[in-house]
Copies of this chain bind each other. A is one copy, B any other.
């Protein structure tokens, strides 16, 4: 068997641990050789984890040290958004391939610097981690819309990302560093809209939000439920609903309308194929979070990244693709805070 890809994961929060698990069990051509966290408790947890020991994974507290791990080939950046860019830049500088979680940054110039650095090293695979692009249903929708023209010219996208209400305080702690509800939560919805609508340029956007369950967000200038509309040049429109406070589970739906039809992805969220009929009527459960909904997508994403490196193929989602997504996410956040319409010129640049 050919040599597997030696990969390291930086960030051992909830997501980082899951990426390690995915790499260990669902990516036969990758080998996790190192992990890294700046948090003592995460480092300790990793050091004491018998599974990590079993698989021979080295644990680092210092990111630079991890980058020097012998024969390391690639890094999966899975830390909080505020260090995505700097860590990606360091890895690129070390000639390491990079798969970086969305969003690349909350600052456009910083994000651009990563894209620029990547361009300097065309031999490196530098990929943006928009997991939904790897979900079987979203891909099927893209295939039907873009290849089969199943709905004619698409012109309208409705997309929502609604999380189960978190009662543990985890979300509120995490919110301080994520860039606001549209940058953090709508980022996939914006990305999907650009994908399905053929990468139109934004013309104007507006947003409105409300605080229902997490008053602590007020001092972060954030909300826990928000609606945003983006008008694109060329008569296309996307609108989004983001929520942190759903009672029933992780409810993520995208609906694309075209001239001759409509496609819905995940219109009715379901945890599995089970329906219970009893005195309350008929019901099904909903997955509690994105992991249950997108676990397979993360596995495919990791496999395709691995394949692109090992077999020198283009990455399925180039880093620069994430820039416009961020740009729009930030504009929506600005509209939310200002209450005013944010407008763009015909190049999609802020007026």
Contact = CB atoms under 8 A, between A and B. Distances in A.
A208 interface: yes
Nearest to A25: B28
Interface in A54-111: 54-56
A204 B213 contact: no
Contact of A248 (B136, B251, B262): B262
Given A26-B26, A241-B156, A282-B286, A277 B248 contact: yes
Nearest to A28: B25
A257 interface: yes
Nearest to A261: B278
Contacts of A268: 267-268, 275, 282
Given A247-B262, A269-B282, A276 B150 contact: yes
Contacts of A263: 274-277
Given A204-B339, A229-B229, A237-B225, A277 B265 contact: no
Q: Assign chain A's interface to a size class.
A: 35 or more
A264 B78 CA distance: 36
A44 interface: no
A280 B210 CA distance: 25
Given A28-B25, A237-B227, A282 B210 contact: no
A57 to B, nearest CB: 10
A277 B283 CA distance: 9
Contacts of A280: 248, 280, 283, 285
Given A2-B54, A246-B262, A259-B213, A281 B284 contact: yes
Contacts of A206: 206, 229, 341
A243 B206 CA distance: 20
A345 interface: no
A347 interface: no
Contact of A282 (B213, B239, B248): B248
Given A247-B261, A260-B247, A268-B268, A225 B275 contact: no
Contacts of A275: 263-265, 267-268
Contacts of A151: 247, 276, 278
A257 B350 CA distance: 33
Nearest to A341: B341
Interface of A: 1-2, 24-26, 28, 54-56, 136-137, 140-141, 144, 150-151, 155-156, 158, 204, 206-213, 225, 227-229, 231, 235-237, 239, 241, 243, 245-249, 251, 257, 259-286, 339-341
